[in-house]
Amino acid sequence: MSTPEPLFAAQFPIRGDGFEIELVEHCVQADDLYAVVRVVLFDEQGGVLDILENKGPALSPTQMAASDLAERLAAWRADVEGRALECVKPWLPSQLMPHDYPPEARVAAEDGAYQEWRAAHDPLGEDEIRSRAEACLALAFERFPAVSAHFARVFGLRLPRHLAVARALFDLCGDLLARRWLYPDYLLELFQPEALARRVRPGFDERLAGRYDCDAPEMVTAMNGRTDGLHWGLWFDDPQFVPSLVVSNYASDGGPTFGERRSLLGEISHVLDVADHASNPEIEGDVERRYERRRLREYIAALADADARAFEADAAEGSPDTRGPDLRDSPGLVLPMGAGEVPAALTLRSWPASPLDAQDDEAVAKSIADARAELAAGRPAHALALGRVLLFFGRDVHRNDAAALQEAAYRALGRNALAEIAHIHVAYKDWGTEIFESV
């Protein structure tokens, strides 16, 4: 009869739809067979989405002593291979091992523990949640026209309807969101009863509210994480459209800004997914946080249909759908035909080979001259891309040139609202100062 360890090791690698499970190492420890396994997740094109790796029990003493171990392992492998990527994704690698398999058994135990936690901490039933969600939605959409009109008057930009759904979520379970370090910021605060009546302090501009020095003019802050300057916002590519992306960055790290085409509610759901993958179910504190995230998903589910309708209505009004490659610091540019080309050295694909990374003053000066020539010829793409990259990755010596390029490029494209934001952003020096007068 074969010994358990070789039988177990012979099952790897396990390949399924969109994933591969590899055995890194294994050993017998405290009578259990422990294994370090790695799950590699792939996208539809075969690119690597994520890699998860950890150590956990793979076979119990009873399993190792079973006379039909080979058959059990073969059945286990066949079942795992047949699972789609979305079924594998929620489980840590160790939870896919025979020791605790199938995952459904763990789900049943987890459900019982979660129901006990919910009864003690947040006992609202499904019907009551739905009723409260409808009331919060009604209030948010009642306020949306006034909020939207105020924002258009101040910024010259249009707000998407899905912002109101995100505001409803904060009204529905703001305390729970705060425990997950998610807080409303400028755009979501506009829905508060007295927000539209606030007075801006002399010498300041409301368009600076919620803004960080690393924010591009296209970004307007909606939500923050109160750590390392983490904040989320809407991305206004073109004033004639509602924003097409939700973006985020860590202002304290001066990091890049990237995002996805989804609603703000969808972004909150994504943040919870990322936290789930980073958590360890064997750590007590992570269990509490995981239950909080699960409860948040139940609140989100009560708003999901309204969010889908709002997002669809926003999309029906039109949106920029021809985006160039991502820049070094932010989403790619949406440009009309004939606006010129963005040099490869300014795109994310060039990193770290671009001469701009070496702070080559001669290369930067040439790039500025080339961008000015393109701008003068009616092709603002180079100037807009270079202005944005230099403002957030360049040195202070290039700041004025970068700002001038960016502002001129916006005006050449007819995006005067963004040009004005760019102008006041570069002139502003008192980051972190309260914009509004105290009530």
Mean of the pLDDT values across residues 258-286? 77
Mean of the pLDDT values across residues 115-138? 93
Q: Coil, helix or strand for 315?
A: helix
pLDDT at position 354 is 58
Residue 1 pLDDT level (bands cut at 50, 70, 90)? very low
- Is the link from the previous residue into 4 a cis peptide, with omega within 30 of 0? no
Mean of the pLDDT values across residues 159-172? 98
Q: Can you name the residues that pair with 378 across neighbouring β-strands?
A: none
Which residue, 436, 368, 378, is CA-closest to 404? 368
Residue showing tokens 């790796």: 53
Residue 253 pLDDT greater than 70, yes or no: no
Count of residues for the chain? 439
Residue 347 pLDDT level (bands cut at 50, 70, 90)? confident
pLDDT above 90: percentage of residues in the chain: 45
Residue 159 pLDDT level (bands cut at 50, 70, 90)? very high
Q: Can you name the residues that pair with 40 across neighbouring β-strands?
A: 20, 51
pLDDT at position 128 is 95
Residue 321 pLDDT greater than 70, yes or no: no
Looking at per-residue pLDDT, the higher value among 142 and 66 belongs to 142
- Is the link from the previous residue into 102 a cis peptide, with omega within 30 of 0? yes
pLDDT at position 103 is 63
DSSP states along 135-173: HHHHHHHHHHHHHHHHHHHHHS----THHHHHHHHHHHH
Pairwise CA distance, residues 311 & 162, whole Å: 6
pLDDT at position 295 is 93
**3-state helix vs strand vs coil in the chain, percent to 5:** 55, 15, 30
Tokens of 264: 């703000």
Tokens of 231: 């904040």
* Residues 158/148, Cβ–Cβ less than 8 Å: yes
Tokens of 307: 């969010």
> Is the four-CA dihedral 343, 344, 348, 353 of positive or negative sign?
negative
* Residues 147/230, Cβ–Cβ less than 8 Å: no
| Poorest-pLDDT segment among 47-51, 182-186, 217-221, 376-380 | 47-51
Tokens of 426: 């570069």
Residue 395 pLDDT greater than 80, yes or no: no
Mean of the pLDDT values across residues 110-120? 86
- Edge-to-edge, what's the strand order for the sheet holding 219-224? 183-184, 219-224, 230-235, 245-250, 258-260
| Poorest-pLDDT segment among 151-160, 165-174, 321-330, 361-370 | 321-330
Residue 433 pLDDT greater than 90, yes or no: no
pLDDT tens digits, 54-80: 788 888 888 888 888 888 899 889 888
Please give the span between the terminal C-alpha atoms of the chain, in angstroms, as a whole number. Answer: 80
Residue 409 pLDDT greater than 90, yes or no: yes
Amino acid in position 10: A
**C-alpha atoms less than 13 angstroms from C-alpha of 380 in its C-beta half-sphere:** 20
pLDDT at position 135 is 98
Residue 92 pLDDT level (bands cut at 50, 70, 90)? low
Tokens of 154: 């101040």
Q: Can you name the residues that pair with 45 across neighbouring β-strands?
A: none
Residue showing tokens 């802050």: 221
What is the DSSP code (8-state) at residue 199? P
Alpha carbon distances (Å) from 433 to 186, 190, 201, 330: 14, 19, 10, 25
Looking at per-residue pLDDT, the higher value among 399 and 138 belongs to 138
pLDDT tens digits, 183-240: 999 999 999 989 999 999 998 999 999 998 888 999 999 999 977 889 999 999 888 8
Residue 242 pLDDT greater than 50, yes or no: yes
pLDDT at position 265 is 97
Return the H-helix or E-strand segment holding 19.
strand 19-29
What is the DSSP code (8-state) at residue 333? P
pLDDT above 70: percentage of residues in the chain: 88
* Residues 262/251, Cβ–Cβ less than 8 Å: no
Pairwise CA distance, residues 169 & 140, whole Å: 10
| Poorest-pLDDT segment among 144-148, 254-258, 317-321, 329-333 | 317-321
> Is the four-CA dihedral 266, 417, 336, 389 of positive or negative sign?
negative
What is the pTM assigned to this prediction?
Answer: 0.78
